[in-house]
């Protein structure tokens, strides 16, 4: 017999779950409301309030969003390509080679999982500035390219590749690089997708390092542009800020809503080390 | 052939490793060591080059009331945000794992804040907290609570940050608990319920202990997050009023890029790294334990 008390409990639980979901969705829903209505209706929630896209038009005019989008796109792409190449090579070395200093090298990689470049802003600024890369998009991405997290994930994936497949390819005369290209990389595709999604989301949203490194419209990514645009000094009203904010988050948000399962699983995979 | 392979192996491996190693040393290991060394030197200025000053930066840090203030803020922030967001995350995971009507929508609602940039959500939340016209004050108005400058008051500014952080993080932590819950066979709960065990009893005695390994992982990550993510401060308060809502990393940013006192900023960074290392040691000890379980 199933406990009768649990029936009542379950209803409370469902209600709480929905209330929490509403609270969690509310800020975004509210931004959508504000963005699509004139400023007068910003906190008057009536269904007959007139809809408008003027706020988006204004936002687009006030700030160089097209440029910010382009910068973020370039930033995210070069960072991801850099990470894929560097992490693949390093992970391959760790997964399939024996070499002196392997253990200590791997421990040094692990250091970065705990102490990320995000907190090393003071010294990294000095380094980037001595390389002459201040105010460049490469300067934003460079510290993140050799990603311990990427090496770790790919190493795990490579280690699961069956030895027989590798041997078979070797017998057919494939060299180490072509084994990597033809056997390891195709089999690790789900890991690349998961890591790619996490990396793109991370760098699309990253702020502290880009705000330090950039000081011109030509290099600023969306987040930095958004912080200037949303500052009280800019004198832009909240409806327009909402519209700008929605513009900035929409690509990632739409991608998430379309590929929800993929996103959640990627973030999940990234945590289970 | 065999000899050739033995020599080629290590050389190949190191060549593969080289590009990543160079960048990783340059942007992770070198700044850790370099920052530590820089903390024993004075900041070089025009006409006054940097020189060795021993522990002077550390003694001025101990005498700096702002340092203690931001450290205390960060402790309050972590101790407030972590337990609340982790408990909410467990609740969310249990709900989404069960037979909840509209499960997909609820899960999406919980997780969405994770993929939004902190800067963007801070822009939205800024308006919630704005006195008088802001949503929070309007809601308070319905209950005749007088208008309040939520972000401008030293008593409430940090709390406002914490609410935002809980909202941002809970859904992210949820997915790890969800993964763990999905590993628990559903027959276990059915059997327990048929035996007459209450849902709460089952949760406390079976589910929660099984979530413990995940809990540790999430706690360590939550700790790191609370010291690493300061973006919202830029939008909401800039650390004010009177540093009431500033956190350690934000203070480092101010000292380094506002006052350009890089030596002192390096000294503060050493403290931050010590805190992160303590979190790391906890994690590694736990990983060792987990190896024994398997």
Per the DSSP assignment, residues forming a β-bridge with B41 are B52
Q: What is the mean pLDDT of chain A?
A: 89
Q: What is the pLDDT of residue A238?
A: 85
Tell me, what's the ipTM? 0.89
With CA atoms as reference, the chain B residue closest to A258 would be B108
Position A261 pLDDT exceeds 60: yes
| Cis ω for the linkage preceding B138 (within 30 of 0) | no
Q: Over range B202-223, report the average pLDDT.
A: 85
Residue B194 to residue A271, Cβ atoms within 8 A: no
Q: How would residue B2 be classed by pLDDT, with cut points 50, 70 and 90?
A: very low
Q: What is the pLDDT of residue A6?
A: 60
Position B206 pLDDT exceeds 70: yes
Q: How would residue B3 be classed by pLDDT, with cut points 50, 70 and 90?
A: very low
Q: How would residue B289 be classed by pLDDT, with cut points 50, 70 and 90?
A: low
Minimum-distance CB partner of A2 among B101, B108, B194: B194
- Considering only residues 264 to 293 of chain B, which have any Cβ-Cβ distance to chain A shorter than 8 Å? 265-266, 269, 272-273, 276-277, 279-280, 283
The answer, for A63 touching chain B at a CB cutoff of 8 Å, is: no
Q: How would residue B106 be classed by pLDDT, with cut points 50, 70 and 90?
A: very high
- R_g over Cα of chain A: 24
Q: Give Cα separations from A12 to A4, A8, A17, B196, B255 (angstroms).
A: 14, 7, 9, 20, 50
Rounded CA-CA distance B251/B158 in Å is 14
Counted residue by residue, chain B has a size of 294
Give the CATH number, domain containing residue A202.
1.10.3720.10
Mutation site for B-interface testing, chosen from A33, A105, A155, A208 by largest number of B Cβ within 10 Å:
A208
CB A236 within 8 A of CB A62: yes
Residue B21 to residue A114, Cβ atoms within 8 A: no
Q: What residues of chain A lie within 8 A of the CB of B104, using their CB?
A: 260
On whether both A236 and A147 belong to a single domain, the answer is yes
CB A199 within 8 A of CB A80: yes
Rounded CA-CA distance B101/A13 in Å is 11
Q: Give the domain ranges of chain B.
A: 65-293
Residue B24 to residue A108, Cβ atoms within 8 A: yes
Structure letter (DSSP) for residue A221: -
Rounded CA-CA distance A80/A76 in Å is 6
Residue A24 within any structural domain of the chain: yes
Minimum-distance CB partner of A268 among B110, B175, B256: B175
* Joined tokens for residue B172: 């992210």
Residue pairs between chains A and B whose CB atoms are closer than 8 Å: 275
Rounded CA-CA distance A36/A52 in Å is 5
Position A76 pLDDT exceeds 50: yes
> Among A2-11, B204-213, B238-247, whose mean pLDDT is lowest?
A2-11
Q: How would residue B287 be classed by pLDDT, with cut points 50, 70 and 90?
A: low
Q: What is the pLDDT of residue B294?
A: 35
Q: What is the pLDDT of residue A80?
A: 97
Q: Over range B264-284, report the average pLDDT.
A: 89
Q: What residues of chain B lie within 8 A of the CB of A146, using their CB?
A: 19-24, 27-28
On whether both A214 and A145 belong to a single domain, the answer is yes
Q: What is the pLDDT of residue A2?
A: 47
Q: What is the pLDDT of residue B291?
A: 46
Which candidate, A240, A18, A44, places its Cα nearest to that of B135?
A44
Q: Coil, helix or strand for B41?
A: strand
Q: What is the pLDDT of residue B136?
A: 83
Residue B12 to residue A17, Cβ atoms within 8 A: no
The answer, for A100 touching chain B at a CB cutoff of 8 Å, is: yes
Q: How would residue B214 be classed by pLDDT, with cut points 50, 70 and 90?
A: confident
Q: What residues of chain A lie within 8 A of the CB of B231, using their CB?
A: 207-208, 223
Rounded CA-CA distance B288/A71 in Å is 43
* Joined tokens for residue B228: 């690493």
Q: What is the pLDDT of residue A185?
A: 95
Q: How far is A3 from chain B (nearest CA, A)?
A: 6
Q: What residues of chain B lie within 8 A of the CB of A248, using their CB?
A: 117, 120
Q: Calculate ∠ Cα A162-A165-A171, nearest 5°.
A: 140
Residue A185 within any structural domain of the chain: yes
Question: What total number of domains does chain A contain?
Answer: 2
Domain range for A140: 65-271
Domain B65-293 is found in CATH 1.10.3720.10: yes
Q: Over range A210-224, report the average pLDDT.
A: 95
pLDDT in tens, A231-251: 766 677 888 889 999 999 999
Residue A130 within any structural domain of the chain: yes
Q: How would residue A68 be classed by pLDDT, with cut points 50, 70 and 90?
A: very high
pLDDT in tens, A81-129: 999 999 999 999 999 888 999 999 999 998 888 889 999 999 999 999 9
* Joined tokens for residue A124: 């990294």
On whether both A35 and A91 belong to a single domain, the answer is no
On whether both A157 and A255 belong to a single domain, the answer is yes
Residue A115 within any structural domain of the chain: yes
Query: Please, what is the end-to-end C-alpha distance for chain A in angstroms?
Result: 41
Q: Calculate ∠ Cα B203-B204-B209, nearest 5°.
A: 95
Residue A244 within any structural domain of the chain: yes
pLDDT in tens, A12-58: 888 999 999 999 999 999 899 989 988 877 777 777 778 888 889 98
pLDDT in tens, B121-168: 998 898 888 877 777 888 888 888 887 888 888 888 999 999 999 999
Residue A89 to residue B17, Cβ atoms within 8 A: yes
On whether both A69 and A21 belong to a single domain, the answer is no
Q: How far is A162 from chain B (nearest CA, A)?
A: 19
């Amino acid at each position: 017999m199933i406990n009768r008390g649990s029936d009542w409990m379950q209803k409370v639980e469902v209600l709480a779950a929905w209330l929490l979901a509403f609270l969690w969705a509310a800020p975004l829903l509210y931004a959508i409301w504000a963005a699509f209505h004139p400023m007068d209706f910003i906190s008057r929630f009536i269904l007959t309030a007139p809809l408008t896209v003027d706020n988006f038009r204004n936002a687009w005019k006030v700030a160089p969003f097209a440029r910010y989008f382009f910068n973020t796109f370039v930033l995210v792409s070069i960072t991801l390509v850099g990470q894929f190449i560097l992490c693949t090579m390093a992970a391959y070395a760790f997964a399939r080679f024996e070499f002196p200093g392997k253990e200590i090298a791997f421990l040094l990689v692990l250091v970065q999982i705990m102490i990320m470049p995000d907190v090393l802003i003071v010294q990294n600024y000095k380094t980037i500035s001595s390389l002459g890369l201040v105010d460049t998009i490469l300067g934003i991405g460079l510290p993140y390219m050799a990603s311990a997290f990427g090496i770790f994930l790919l190493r795990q994936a490579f280690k699961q590749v069956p030895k027989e497949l590798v041997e078979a390819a070797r017998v057919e005369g494939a060299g180490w690089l072509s084994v990597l290209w033809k056997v390891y990389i195709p089999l690790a595709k789900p890991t690349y997708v998961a890591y790619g999604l996490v990396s793109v989301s991370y760098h699309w949203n990253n702020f502290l390092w880009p705000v330090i490194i950039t000081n011109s419209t030509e290099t600023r990514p969306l987040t930095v542009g958004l912080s200037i645009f949303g500052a009280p000094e800019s004198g832009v009203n909240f409806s327009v800020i909402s519209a700008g904010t929605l513009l900035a988050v929409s690509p990632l948000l739409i991608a998430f809503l379309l590929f929800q399962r993929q996103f959640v699983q990627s973030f999940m995979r990234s945590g289970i080390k | 052939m065999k000899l050739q392979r033995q020599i080629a192996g290590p050389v190949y491996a190191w060549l593969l490793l080289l590009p990543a190693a160079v960048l990783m040393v340059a942007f992770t290991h070198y700044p850790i060591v370099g920052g530590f060394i820089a903390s024993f030197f004075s900041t070089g200025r025009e006409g006054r080059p940097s020189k060795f000053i021993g522990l002077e930066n550390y003694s001025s840090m101990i005498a700096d009331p702002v340092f203690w203030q931001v450290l205390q803020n960060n402790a309050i922030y972590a101790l407030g945000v972590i337990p609340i967001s982790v408990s909410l995350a467990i609740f969310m995971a249990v709900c989404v794992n069960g037979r909840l009507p509209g499960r997909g929508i609820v899960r999406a609602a919980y997780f969405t804040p994770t993929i939004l940039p902190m800067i963007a959500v801070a822009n939205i939340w800024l308006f919630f907290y704005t006195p008088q016209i802001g949503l929070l004050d309007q809601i308070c108005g319905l209950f005749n609570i007088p208008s309040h400058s939520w972000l401008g008051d030293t008593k409430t500014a940090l709390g406002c940050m914490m609410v935002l952080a809980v909202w941002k993080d809970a859904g992210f932590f949820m997915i790890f608990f969800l993964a763990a819950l999905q590993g628990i066979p559903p027959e276990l709960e059915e059997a327990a319920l048929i035996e007459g065990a209450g849902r709460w009893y089952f949760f406390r005695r079976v589910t929660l202990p099984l979530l413990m390994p995940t809990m540790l992982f999430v706690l360590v990550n939550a700790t790191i997050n609370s010291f690493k993510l300061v973006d919202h401060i830029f939008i909401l308060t800039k650390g004010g009023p009177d540093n009431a809502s500033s956190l350690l990393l934000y203070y480092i940013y101010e000292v380094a890029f506002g006052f350009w006192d890089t030596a002192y900023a390096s000294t503060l960074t050493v403290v931050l790294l010590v805190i992160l290392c303590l979190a790391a040691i906890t994690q590694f000890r736990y990983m060792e334990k987990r190896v024994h379980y398997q």
